[in-house]
Structure 1
Amino acid sequence: MSEPVVVVGAGPAGLMLACELAMRDVPAVLVDPHPAQRLEAPAMAINAGTLELLDQRGLADGLREGTVTFPEVRFADLPLAFDKVPGPREATHMVLQSRLEKTLIDRALELGVDLRWGTRLTGFEQAPDGSRVTAVLVSDSGEERLTCRYLVGCDGRDSLVREGAGIDYVGDDWVIVRGIVGDVAIDRADVAPEQYGLSYTPNGDQFLGAPLNPGTMRVFSAEFTTRPPEFEDGPATLEQLGAVVRRLTGTELKATEAHWLRHYSIITRNAERYREGRVFLAGDAAHVHYPYNGQGIGTAVGDAVNLGWKIAAEVHGWAPEGLLDTYHEERHAAGRMACMNIQAQLALLYPRALARYMREMLAEFLTFDDVNVFLAELVTNLGPAVPMRYEGFPEPPERDRLLGRRLPRARVKTASGEVAVAETLHGGRGVLLDLSGHTGGPDVDGWTDRVDVVRAQPVADWPATLLLRPDGCVAWHDGAGWGEDVLRAALTTWFGAATG
């Protein structure tokens, strides 16, 4: 095997990145210190943006099956009019993190990822000439020094990769959330009405009870404090959970057994940079925040899909200069927006009674469609848009709703039949989507080894031709007043020089 990319941490970011690399014939070694997949994963929602990314790789259909959808999108518990977001778009689905991870594990193994459970990264060093990284891996088989092209830390908020790269984890602790999360055995008839769904106390503290099956309920509490939490050693207990539920709902929790429970506390951090030479950060290693609106998994999967095709372009030798630098530029901004909007939501929730005037004012702002749409896209990982600017050419109109975003869910009619736009991205390549009705629109001569051409019938309100990056972002379209000269600039910017 040629020098692989080593990915540390088999959570959503690490698993998705390993799949993104392997589907492009880049050898990937994924290491995780746990002996097998952890089923004690707290996240339980996948929002619209995450589902769209998974749909682009053919991974969403199985996750949708048998799930409950959340009809509302909220900002600090204030309802947003999600139907005003240009669409159609996905609803948020209740999908346990463990189920998503199992889907990604199966896909990674199918693609040939070298997945090594029970393997810990203990250190690494970059070659003085910047040509490679040597990772030190320890397992029951002993110590191994593995030379790799790139090292990616997806190893969580206490990331050894981030620490070893000397990257600061910047943030503040002015609001700390602490709570208990886990699964308990309880007869559905014994669940009090106050313990179903998401509820808030006047002080903004939260409790969530979600049935997973007739005899099991996922529980999640969140209490706000200005002091660091002081938990007892060891795992959370059923007695501790019972006290929390009484405090937050006023009713007794009649659970008979805890399948698993965990204390947690949340800080807000965004790494100073997401790249140091050949070392990258993704997921919680890059940014950590309260897991509101499904944004935790959304930002993690977004990191992986953004980084995967760019590393593959470097490995296969066609990446234009500076392509890998755009990972930090684009995803650091996304991480910052996630941290910022969630901190703002926490400020509006804690203490909720004292924030009532801010909440009333925001409710007034939400009557303006632009404000409503901006926040709805932000909290569902549909926005903000990735800037698309090309040197020497005028910028597109400020209110362009397509550039830098993924297209809404739609099906297009090709000569061989109807196909979903997301399906055109299953191969992980760029796509020139020609919707001129087979009239012979622009081509991608010189880029056909990196970009597919899909010709289809026109779609109402869409431009005649669009260029999609491998992550689904619209990089160019002719409805922005840009001609084929800008198309060639976009192709060169994202896919390198033309060949032939």
Structure 2
Amino acid sequence: MDAEVVIVGAGPAGLFLAGELRLAGISVIVVEKLHEPTGESRGLGFTARTLEVFGQRGLLSRLGEVETTDLGHFGGLPIDFSVLGEPNSGGVKGIPQAVTEEMLGDWAADLGADIRRAHEVTGLRDLGDAVEVEVSGPMGPQVLRAAYLVGCDGGRSTVRKLAGFDFPGTASTLEMFLADVRHPDIRVRMIGETVPGGMVMAGPLGDGLFRIIVCERGTEPKARTEPPSWEEISSAWQRLTGQDISGGTALWTSAFGNAARLATEYRRGRVLLAGDAAHIHLPAGGQGMNTSIQDSANLGWKLAAAVRGTAPDDLLDSYHEERHRVGERLLMNTQAQGLLFLSGSEMQPLRDVMTELIAFEPVSRHLAGMVSGLSIRYDVGGGDHPLLGLRVPNLTLRTEQGEPTMFELLAGARGVLLLPPGSGLETVAKGWADRVDVVIGEPAGESADELGGARALLVRPDGHVAWVGAGSGDDLNDTDLDVALRRWFGLPVDAGVAVPA
């Protein structure tokens, strides 16, 4: 093997996956056809769920001081995300995607990922027990052999096409322009501001720089191989607003559409998809990069277990089962948002009705949870406790060793079993000591209020709760715990599993 896993694509999904695999000791090669990062930043922040993902890996300090917000929107209609009752529920603002990518690239490289730029995939073969990837690069063509291949190479994924994944959905019916422009006189326009003939947005980025978006209805999307020219974008802006901004300077330009496609499967044998390679959609609410990173958070520990031979048979299949449902809801909500802020005056009655509905807290909470990702809950079985399948709160714990937070305990991408003193259940988990860290302690202060009566938790490496012990006294069920450990972490060592050193 040249590496245990080859990842195609050095965007946020590929780089985060590389870091996750390296935390588990898996050798990784990342191939990327671009010679260097573009420096473009479609995203200008990330959602609360990605904030949590970065927090549990200790990555936020690499970004310096982060500014959070509770303000957001659904289809251009304002939502106060504080209705969710969680800190920083609106996510982080003011961090360009290029900065996030650079941070993830440095993290993955620091952990030992082999990142090879100017390398393009030209062919692949799934051999049943390995994958061969044909790559062209500065040193000529070569074949990389790995146990698994993951396509994180974007909406036009070469891996998806070569491996024969089905990618059904709808084609773009319109085209939108995006640009960062230096101009002194652009008026601030919020997302969803409709004008006769289309939609425009202009948001200040500081120092005379503006992020503008232009959508002109009735124009056919073009099959582009190059970004649109500034002349094309400024002309569309003038037609829609009457303002001539052609004298401005565009730092970069881009075009995108409202195509909505979802791979029918995220795994075919030893080839998997993550991020935009698995789903494309209108970038409404900034969900694209965030969903991609969360795909990789779900996949990384499962793929590492499969490579090491410690995974139960169906663990890797659970990646598709859990994340495909997320992809379906992603397409649903972005298409709905597109109808709200890209349609003409005929949609105004629906906008008015939605505005009234958002004033009701349950509606606002539902939409905020959907866009932020905070409402994502996996079906992990094992009962009906409200924490099961959700991401674990970042509790502060009181243990004999100190007061760590739950996110600090998850930094190594291992499972965590939190048990109260005197439960005796640590003996049940002995066979998984190579995969699960047992922590004896209790929530400190008011943290206990976040557990809904739970006294013990089994938390997967991606931060989702897989088992809850909610009994009193010595009622915690060791049989249920054993079932959960086997379901998510495979057979214990004493059951005959050969665990690599």
> Which whole-Å CA distance do the structure 1 matches of 2:160 and 2:220 have between them?
23
Give 2:375's aligned residue: 383
Change (3 A) 1:406 1:232: closer
Mapped to 1, the partners of 2:393 and 2:345 lie a distance apart of: 38
The 1:488–1:200 alpha-carbon spacing in structure 2 relative to 1, beyond 3 Å, is same
CA distance, structure 2, for counterparts of residue 384 and residue 204 of structure 1? 36
Q: 1:409 to 1:363 in 2, by over 3 A?
A: farther
Measure, in 1, the Cα distance between the counterparts of 2:117 and 2:483: 44
Residues 85 and 376 in structure 1, CA contact (< 8 A), matched pair in contact too: yes
Instruction: Indicate which of 450, 456, 478 corresponds to 1:465.
Output: 456
1:442 to 425, 437, 443: 425
Deviates more, 1:239-248 or 1:296-305: 239-248
**CA 1:160–1:171 in structure 2 vs 1: closer, same or farther (change >3 Å)?**
same
**Which residue number in structure 1 is paired with residue 211 of structure 2?**
218
Give, in angstroms, the shift of residue 367 of structure 1.
Answer: 4.8
User: Which residue among 284, 302, 309 is the counterpart of 1:292?
Assistant: 284
**Distance verdict in 2 for CA 1:289–1:460, change over 3 Å:** same
1:181 and 2:174 aligned: no
Alignment partner, residue 405 of structure 2: 420
State which drifts further: 480-489 or 278-287: 480-489
Q: CA RMSD in A?
A: 2.5
1:86·1:408 contact (CA, 8 Å) conserved in 2?
no
Match of 2:135 in 1: 137
Aligned to 1:491: 485
Distance 1:92-1:478 versus aligned 2 partners, 3 A rule:
same
SS at the partner of 1:176?
coil
- Alpha-carbon displacement from aligned partner over 1:65-101 (angstroms, at most 9, x marks no partner): 2x55443122112233422324234432222111110
- 1:406–1:474: 8 Å Cα contact kept in structure 2? yes
Deviations 1:140-187 (A, max 9, x none): 2111111110011111111111111111111113x634222232233x
For residue 236 of structure 2, the aligned residue among 232, 235, 244 is 244
Please, what TM-score do these two structures have when normalized by structure 2? 0.89
Percentage of matched positions with identical amino acids:
37
Q: For this pair of structures, how many residues does the alignment match?
A: 482
Tell me how far 1:468 sits from its aligned partner.
Answer: 0.8
For 1:127-166, what aligned pairs fall within 5 Å after superposition? Answer: 127=127, 130-166=128-164
**Whole-angstrom CA distance in 2 between matches of 1:363 and 1:267:** 26
- Stretch deviating more after TM superposition (410-419 or 197-206): 197-206
Amino acid at match of 1:460: A
Maintained 8 Å contact 2:2/2:145 = no
CA contact (8 A) 2:413 2:462 kept: yes
Q: Who is 1:46 aligned against?
A: 46
Where 1:207 maps in the other structure, the secondary structure is strand
**Comparing 265-274 and 441-450, the one that deviates more:** 441-450
- Aligned counterpart, 1:101: 101
Match of 1:7 in 2: 7
Look up the match of 1:474: 465
Q: Give deviations 1:254-313, integer Å, cap 9, x for gaps.
A: 753222222333311101111110000111110011112221011100111111111100
Q: By how many angstroms is 1:224 displaced?
A: 4.6
Mark the CA change 1:233 to 1:288 in structure 2 (over 3 Å): closer, same or farther: closer
Tell me: CA distance 1:64–1:70, structure 2 relative to 1, closer, same or farther (3 Å).
Answer: farther
Which runs of 5 or more residues in structure 2 are unaligned?
495-501
Q: Look up the match of 1:267.
A: 259
SS for the counterpart of 2:328 is helix
Rounded Cα–Cα distance in structure 1 between residues aligned with 2:210 and 2:196 = 25
Aligned to 1:72: 71
Residue 250 of structure 1, CA deviation: 4.3
Report the 3-state secondary structure (helix = DSSP H, G, I; strand = E; otherwise coil) of the residue aligned with 2:431: coil
Find the residue that maps to 2:384 and give its secondary structure.
Answer: coil
Matched-pair contact (CA < 8 Å) for 1:431–1:452: yes
Distance in structure 2 (CA, Å) of the matches to 1:233 and 1:449: 49
Q: Could you tell me how far 1:215 is from its partner in structure 2?
A: 4.3
State the partner residue of 2:22: 22
Deviation at 1:31, TM superposition (A): 0.4
What is the letter of the counterpart of residue 392 of structure 2? L
Query: What secondary structure sits across from 1:457 in the alignment?
Result: strand
Residues 443-487 of structure 1, C-alpha deviation per residue, up to 9 Å, x if partnerless?
A: 222112111123333333212111110000111112399833222
CA distance in structure 2 between the partners assigned to 1:199 and 1:350 by the alignment: 7
1:400-415 matches, cutoff 5 A: 400=386, 402-415=387-400
Call closer, same or farther: CA 1:151–1:441 in 2, change over 3 Å. same
Distance, in Å, in 2 between the alignment partners of 1:255 and 1:198 is 23
Does the Cα contact within 8 Å between 2:43 and 2:96 map onto a contact in 1? Answer: yes
Q: TM-score, normalised by structure 1?
A: 0.89
Letter of the aligned partner of 1:492 in structure 2?
A: R
Over 3 Å counting, the alpha-carbon distance change for 1:265 and 1:416 in structure 2 is: same
Alignment match of 1:355 (pick from 347, 365, 380) = 347
The answer as to whether partners of 2:199 and 2:342 remain within 8 angstroms in 1 is no
Is residue 111 from structure 1 mapped to residue 114 from structure 2 by the alignment? no
Residues 1:303 and 2:289 aligned together: no
Q: Distance in 2 between matches of 1:234 and 1:337?
A: 31
Kept after mapping to 2: 8 A contact 1:205/1:350: yes
**1:198 maps to what in 2?**
191
2:338 aligns with one of 343, 346, 353: 346
Question: Deviation digits for residues 350-396 of structure 1, max 9, x if unmatched?
Answer: 42532233334334444554433222111012233111115xxxx41
